[in-house]
Structure 1
Amino acid sequence: MLRLAPRTCVLALGIGSILAGCTEPDATKAPAGPPAPLADVELVVDELGITHVYARSDADAFFGAGYAMARDRLFHMELMRRRAAGTRAELVGVKVLDDDVMARTMNFTKLGEADEARVRAERPEEAALFDAWTAGVNLRIEEVRSGAAPRPFGMRESELDFLPEPWASHEAFAVGKLLSFGMSNSLDRDILATAVARMAPETAERLPVLMPAFDVFPGAPAGAGGNAAPAPGPFGPPGPPKADAAAFPRDYEPIMRETASNNWALAGKHTESGRPYVCGDPHQSLTSPSRFWAVHMNSAEAGGTLDVVGFSFVGTPTVQLGHNAHIGWTATTNFADVMDLWDVAPDAAYESVSVGGETVPLVKRDEVFRVIAPGAKAGTFVDEVTVEIAEVPGYGVILPDEMLPIPRPLLADGRLLFNWTGFAPSMEAVAYLEIDRAKDIDAFEEAASILEVGAANFVAADAKEIDMFVHARVPDRGDPSARPMPWRSITDPEDPASYWTRGDLPADRMPKRRDPPEGFLFTANTDPFGFTQDGVVENDPYYYGAFYANGFRGYRIEQAIEELVASGAKVDRAAMEELQRDVRSPLADTIVPLLEEALANVEADPALAAYKGRADLVAYAAKLSAWDREMRADRGEPVMFNALVWFAARRVFEKPMTSALFGAIHEASPPFFLGMLHNVLTNRFADASYFAPDGARVLLLAALDEASAWITTRFGSIDADFELGDVQGALFQSDLPGSAWDTEPMAVGGASDTINVAPTRFFDGNEPAAYFESTEMSLYRMVVGFAADGTPEATVNFGRGNSAEPDSPHYDDQDAAWTSVTYAPLPFRRADVEAREESRVILAGGGK
């Protein structure tokens, strides 16, 4: 293999020069006295585009990481801090104005300042490390502002034409709070559940929307683990609709897309090395560039505490997911319910509001939003919008109408009061820093216990143990059987017991497992306890959450690992990588046999008389019967199966839910309807026949008829040469349409129910979409094993590239590996890094 000689250059920060021939900034143009590390810092870039920071202290390692992130992602960082500050419309335009309104309603800037103040008060040494990271970012900004470094993409004269301002120390904390909000988000689910209850009350009573498709409950602690009492009766009979479906918007857009992920760990007793594997693939919105940035920080060689590699969220200073020299860890969203809504009635002057019988004055502020003109340079504004925000001290914030995805009268008679545990100061940055430093599973759990918001299902391992651990602030809402829990509908504001007066659930009511006897752990956003098994959470020992993933991915992970273990063969890394590629559809495993059974009864069942002699339907079903039920991009049967299940889902749910709600839920969360369809067709709940009154056979053959007609119209016949990859692709979405950040869809396999996930929205309005875009998928996939000396060793693939600069060789160099799910070693040991070295920069220290 030919390898170019690595480039080395020295950046003498304000006190020297740069070696001739290096493409890095000309220090002679730099202003005097920019921030500098204490001692020299090496930035070694490998062939994946990952920067490995070698420093003589923890502070210098953070300085180097901040500089390196800004070197790769400065404009991306600008967008992230503006997203947290609610000023992104000043650069991107009106399409993100709703996001800006949400950010300033939550006041992430103020929350970031409060988090920073708490860290400075309680953990001043760690605060100094975050200051060093900010100083590293600001060094790169100084280089750009002075002309010593070129402007990054997005800031150049040919684009938005502006120079970045220095980062303030609180801004990384604000970005972190924004990310925690995303991991905490239940707003959209609460809003849609309320809309169903008000617009289709009988459906709300009959359809157990919380019930999973499969009973997969991976993290029950002692005292939890199932339903402890019979389900209480309905909290009042369904009444007439309280809202008119005609007012529901046809262009429903969620406040924030929900996130999902897979992770698992396999104990050493099942592996070829005798040491564990830990694997993870976080599913989030696909963006161009990716919201993750890979980095390695090492101060341990010089006596520091850091030797950690993995992925950071852009705009934050720590490695959130990855491995250090002792442990590896991954995470999935936990979906603990840490947000509530109340329907409150302000006084006529909108000066106060009644909460639990107490009158509380409103604290109001006006927020002014500036919106850039389409295609204009930064600072050119076409509009200013003023939104009044009203806070209820001690209880939360009134959601402005401008933030809501549907008209407020469809949800409430008054105004919507919102509370979130993240409004209190917290120390997520410190938690991830301590995870980065952890030397064993005990230390890992101690570090993860610092987390209070952004609840995550961590799966971790060292060379000896595997662990699943969760810690977060979850409000104790009292006896679940005493009143409707907050998922069901917006809460009665006059019920004093509905407010968070009992503190939080104790640690022993969090999901956790360590070294289980079966020798494996996994999570996939499912209910950890089994509380939702019967579709009711009001009959459980306590209330933890309600809306979880429907169990498809968790079921398939558990099934596949059990098959590996039962085979008796020792599991190797290749088997773990293959499991992350898995596109076997549990939904197809359920529905295809039901379809076969329906066709087998066409002659005998009078209800199916309309389908006698339909050779086209027989041929269609025969193709699905012969199919291996894998949603591969190079097969046509997945397209046929998707058509069948979505036409069936629409037949089942559109009428009882109203067309508007069906469209909104389909837009917000396509997997929901597929899980509910599974439950209807398998008679998993008592009222299943209400949603398929003519029976599963009639339903499936009617859907098959629609699917056959659509396939024939779209492709010419069911025997035509078409593949899933022709019509389905991953789309990395850009904040700057029409720019170099734009991408074309990349053909991928997978579906909503597969481990290698690819959820898509099948309908575009009333018709199937012309192309099925998946915009929420795995941002990276990682498999961590352990060497004989206990050091973690990882293989990885990730979307896009580590640089946000379109002219960088590392802008999109990882797309091929990501789409094909092929892996490369993640360099960690110094010898491996240097063997894959592509370039090197030395940040010259400013002191001793």
Structure 2
Amino acid sequence: MRLVFRWLLRLATLAILLAVIGVGLVYYLASRSLPDYSKTLRVDGITADLEIVRDNSNVPHIFARSDRDAYFGLGYTHAQDRLWQMMLLRRTAQGRLSELFGSRTVDTDTLIRRLDLYNLARASVEHQTPETLDALEAYAAGVNARIDEINRRSLGRGAPEFFLFDARLPPWQPADSLAVIKVMALQLSGHLSEEVLRARTSLALEDEDKLADILPDIPGDGVAALPEYAALAPGASRTAALEPVPERDGFLSPLPERGLAGASNAWAAAPSRSASGGTLLAGDPHLGFTAPSIWYLARMQLTAGGVIGGTIPGIPAIMVGRSEQLGWAITSSYLDDQDLHLEELNPDDPQQYRTPDGWKEFRTRRSIIEIKDAQPITITMRWTDNGPVLPGSVYDLGAITPQGHVMSLSWTALSGRDTSMSAAVGLMGAQDVRSAIELSEAYVAPSQNLTLIDDETVAMKTIGTMPRRDPGHQSRGRLPSPGWVEANRWQGRLPYDQNPEFVAPAGGVVGNTNNKVIDRPFPRHMSHEWGDSQRVMRWRAMMQGREVHTRDSFIEAQLDTVSPAARTLLPLIGADLWFTGEAAAEGTPERRRAEALSLLADWNGEMNEHMPEPLIYAAWLRALQDRLIRDELGPLADEYDHVQPLFIERVFRDVSGASAWCNVIRSSRDETCTDIARLALDDALVWIDETYGTALESLRWGNAHQATHDHPVLGDVPVLRYFVNIRQSTSGGDHTLQRGRTSGQDPEPFLNVHGAGYRGVYDFADPDSSVFINSTGQSGHFLSRHYDDLGQLWRRGEYIPMSLDPELARAAAVGVTRLTAK
């Protein structure tokens, strides 16, 4: 027995020793790719020596003698800290993810190939300005200098992920940067999904008038009645529209979920509204959360002066930030820049489609998709005059496509003459608001609202191509329409001066929370769908509540967590429930309901992470909407996975008879809205008990509303996920200025998945007092202390200095890299 024990002890010791050696070896290999920020390196591609000073937050300050060398330095720093992220973005744009990830990403690669994003990016290179071409080439040279250094010095392949996925590192090219912009455009475009949902809902509802309730127009002048989708697409199946949507694996897909196609906040105050006498600007663009953040903070010293702000690895430009003369922020404009078209196939020749002039051959090209651990597949890509033909799996297009038809997409980003990059580069050298607006005419997609300040003026301009539609368009771009009808086809673009513009307004304040900005009649309209009808109310109150503003008051607004939706809806849905219940024994559902109502009665609508009321409210509203729509829409109700405040308000105010939604069609009695509100509250409390199992007073919204900065590839890997994912308890919600968009997906519907990955506030009375932050950290290497060091500051609503002072950057710098010319 003693001998057996001795051998077991030896084997256990050996196993532990081997495990320690294995962990040590993994750590050694992974740590080889940690960048050294303090060094001197000789490189090709620069005209003179340049210096990269990493301040104490690891923000690189690039000091060069020429613009070309400054862009080289930016490319080098991006590749130092975010090489894996850049290569993943490039592979996405090329439709080559399946070479690394196998069959799981075939659908994504197929869609991207059909959109032809990378070839369009390649074609766009020659249309850039000479200055932009120079920037693209220098940036690519900087990236490639880092790749060459990795290969020569065996620096762990550049990132730990490259050990797990044997990805080659071909040189970076100018087209790669333009392709990244195309991918961002896809992530920020949501009208495609809205058209599909409107079509499916139109088919599913027996009472077509109810479409205006569940998908209401933002308040303002209405639009004329639209035809039913069934009239536009004879043969489209009402039964298919009610079928459950096949679960989509969103792994690495740039196609946004509905409601997650972009948001953001930006506002500016003129000197007349500023306590310091200088202009003020706050901006926080919203994207899906990842680890690392899509945003990377950087400063470049250009010949026109210093420029600092948020960059996107792969793109050689400060996308949001400030120079010495100008500050700029962007918000998603919600411009309707996508239209779906039904294309009728020739029954005698499926290689042809119907046009206003008769049958026409598709333009086609074959493409081979290589798949890891599987045989390659060949797809035939097809294009019509209206755009590329999409797979039926995209947002389940097949459910609304009649037999004998396919669906094509018109989209402004599908241009081989896209000069958006030139606009971004030009903006960094603009000297004032007016010149910035003029330079931005070159911007194509994705459409944005550009908020600007210089020393004296504030402005907001919608940038991006606005499609020209025919006044006789059958669906006004809100539903897929027959592509063979001339009136449904795009007729070029509207002139740039038709884009909304607000310069030096009399009130001294401009801003946007993705709210409706204009209400021009079709076809000069901007959009029928908007991203916000709630946050703007809180923003307007906070801006008008002060005669003058400061940097700190702008920060206060940026971090505000009061929900105007909660303040509006709770008195409506609880009107007949508060203070009307009878005494109930402890432990009964009635007592539980009374406790919840008592908490909500004293709540001011603040979505604070430490409070129970936001969780009770959010669960109640989610259950309420589901009860209202489930019997009419069936499985399609799953697509409405976020609360629609305007719908709830219409129902409980009985606008145009909308209270009819409260009656359950399939029951024998007539339910009232009070009945449904009470039942929904009980549903919510049961769900809370099953999920959290604690007293209501002990609930914390932050436990449910955790920000999910997850690694897009390794985030689901057991054990490793605890090292690469960054989870944070957060305040805010779907309808607060500090917006934290919830997932809407069971089993954790309130996870914070989409929000402000970058925040910046700029004060031109004292520019070096400006501040900014990103949501994780600068490094993409999970062993780096800079992987998540900014995350806790971001969660607490704190910022770091955004100064162009070189001495401040050098103070307590984490490293200085000197690149010298060979």
In the superposition, the TM-score normalised over structure 2's length comes to 0.87
8 Å CA contact 1:201, 1:241 repeated in 2: no
State how far apart, in whole Å, the 2-side matches of 1:147 and 1:183 are. 39
Q: Which residue of the other structure, out of 159, 170, 177, is the alignment partner of 2:175?
A: 170
Q: Deviations over 1:25-74 (max 9, x none)?
A: 796xx9xxx52310011111111111111110111111111111111111
Amino acid at match of 2:184: L
- Partner residue of 2:637? 662
Query: Matches of residues 693-712 of structure 1 in structure 2 within 5 Å?
Result: 693=663, 694-712=671-689
- Please state how far the C-alpha of 1:845 moved relative to its aligned partner: 2.4
Query: Matches of residues 721-800 of structure 1 in structure 2 within 5 Å?
Result: 721-737=698-714, 738=717, 739=720, 742-762=724-744, 764=746, 769-770=747-748, 772-787=750-765, 791=767, 793-800=769-776
Q: Deviations over 1:485-539 (max 9, x none)?
A: 121x2102231111112x32233432221121222111111221146xxxxxxx6
State how far apart, in whole Å, the 2-side matches of 1:510 and 1:775 are. 31
- Partner residue of 2:71? 62
8 Å CA contact 2:768, 2:802 repeated in 1: no
- Partner residue of 2:110? 101
Amino acid at match of 2:358: E
Q: Deviations over 1:811-840 (max 9, x none)?
A: 111110111111121232222222252211
Describe the shift of the 1:548–1:101 C-alpha distance in structure 2 as closer, same or farther (beyond 3 A).
Answer: same
8 Å CA contact 1:26, 1:149 repeated in 2: no
Q: Deviations over 1:383-437 (max 9, x none)?
A: 4333221122x43111123x52326143343100112122221111110111111
- Partner residue of 2:159? 153
State how far apart, in whole Å, the 2-side matches of 1:551 and 1:701 are. 26
Report the aligned-residue RMSD: 2.7
Q: Which residue of the other structure, out of 655, 659, 667, is the alignment partner of 1:689?
A: 659
Amino acid at match of 1:772: F
Describe the shift of the 1:497–1:349 C-alpha distance in structure 2 as closer, same or farther (beyond 3 A).
Answer: same
- 1:126 to 2:126 alignment: no
8 Å CA contact 1:144, 1:163 repeated in 2: no
Q: Deviations over 1:222-243 (max 9, x none)?
A: xxxx63xx75445369789634
Which segment is superposed worse, 771-780 or 691-700?
691-700
State how far apart, in whole Å, the 2-side matches of 1:66 and 1:817 are. 27
8 Å CA contact 2:573, 2:652 repeated in 1: no
- Partner residue of 1:427? 419
State how far apart, in whole Å, the 1-side matches of 2:249 and 2:270 are. 42
Describe the shift of the 1:204–1:760 C-alpha distance in structure 2 as closer, same or farther (beyond 3 A).
Answer: farther
- Partner residue of 2:247? 251
Residue-pair matches, total: 757
- 1:499 to 2:470 alignment: no
- Partner residue of 2:126? 117
- Partner residue of 1:13? none
Describe the shift of the 1:237–1:797 C-alpha distance in structure 2 as closer, same or farther (beyond 3 A).
Answer: closer
- 1:242 to 2:206 alignment: no
Amino acid at match of 1:249: V
Q: Deviations over 1:259-283 (max 9, x none)?
A: 1111111222222201121111111
- 1:526 to 2:515 alignment: yes
Aligned partner of residue 423 in structure 1, secondary structure = coil
- 1:472 to 2:457 alignment: no
Describe the shift of the 1:233–1:140 C-alpha distance in structure 2 as closer, same or farther (beyond 3 A).
Answer: closer
Amino acid at match of 1:710: W
Query: Matches of residues 570-719 of structure 1 in structure 2 within 5 Å?
Result: 570-599=548-577, 602=580, 614-658=590-634, 660-666=635-641, 670-671=642-643, 673-683=644-654, 685-693=655-663, 694-716=671-693, 718-719=695-696
8 Å CA contact 1:203, 1:656 repeated in 2: no
Which segment is superposed worse, 705-714 or 439-448?
705-714
Which segment is superposed worse, 809-818 or 124-133?
124-133
Amino acid at match of 1:778: A
- Partner residue of 1:559? 541
- Please state how far the C-alpha of 1:170 moved relative to its aligned partner: 1.4
8 Å CA contact 2:266, 2:281 repeated in 1: yes
Aligned partner of residue 698 in structure 2, secondary structure = coil
- 1:459 to 2:451 alignment: yes
State how far apart, in whole Å, the 2-side matches of 1:247 and 1:657 are. 10
State how far apart, in whole Å, the 2-side matches of 1:266 and 1:23 are. 39
Describe the shift of the 1:144–1:689 C-alpha distance in structure 2 as closer, same or farther (beyond 3 A).
Answer: same
In the superposition, the TM-score normalised over structure 1's length comes to 0.84
Which segment is superposed worse, 583-592 or 827-836?
827-836
8 Å CA contact 1:343, 1:416 repeated in 2: yes
State how far apart, in whole Å, the 2-side matches of 1:664 and 1:252 are. 12
Describe the shift of the 1:85–1:388 C-alpha distance in structure 2 as closer, same or farther (beyond 3 A).
Answer: same
Query: Matches of residues 334-353 of structure 1 in structure 2 within 5 Å?
Result: 334-347=333-346, 348-353=348-353
- Partner residue of 1:76? 85
Amino acid at match of 1:136: G
- Please state how far the C-alpha of 1:584 moved relative to its aligned partner: 0.4
Amino acid at match of 1:408: G
8 Å CA contact 1:478, 1:542 repeated in 2: no
Aligned partner of residue 443 in structure 2, secondary structure = coil
Query: Matches of residues 43-442 of structure 1 in structure 2 within 5 Å?
Result: 43-119=52-128, 123-147=129-153, 149-154=155-160, 156-157=162-163, 159-200=164-205, 202-203=207-208, 206-208=211-213, 211=216, 215=219, 227=221, 232-235=224-227, 242-245=238-241, 247-252=243-248, 255-257=255-257, 258-299=261-302, 304-347=303-346, 348-372=348-372, 381-392=373-384, 394-401=385-392, 403-406=393-396, 408-413=398-403, 414-424=405-415, 425-442=417-434
State how far apart, in whole Å, the 1-side matches of 2:602 and 2:190 are. 41
5+ residue gaps, structure 1 = 1-20, 216-225, 373-380, 532-538, 605-611
- Please state how far the C-alpha of 1:654 moved relative to its aligned partner: 1.9
State how far apart, in whole Å, the 2-side matches of 1:462 and 1:585 are. 32
Identity, % of aligned positions: 22
Which segment is superposed worse, 816-825 or 522-531?
522-531
Describe the shift of the 1:232–1:73 C-alpha distance in structure 2 as closer, same or farther (beyond 3 A).
Answer: closer
Describe the shift of the 1:198–1:388 C-alpha distance in structure 2 as closer, same or farther (beyond 3 A).
Answer: farther
Describe the shift of the 1:552–1:383 C-alpha distance in structure 2 as closer, same or farther (beyond 3 A).
Answer: farther
Describe the shift of the 1:191–1:827 C-alpha distance in structure 2 as closer, same or farther (beyond 3 A).
Answer: same
Aligned partner of residue 812 in structure 1, secondary structure = coil
Describe the shift of the 1:770–1:436 C-alpha distance in structure 2 as closer, same or farther (beyond 3 A).
Answer: closer
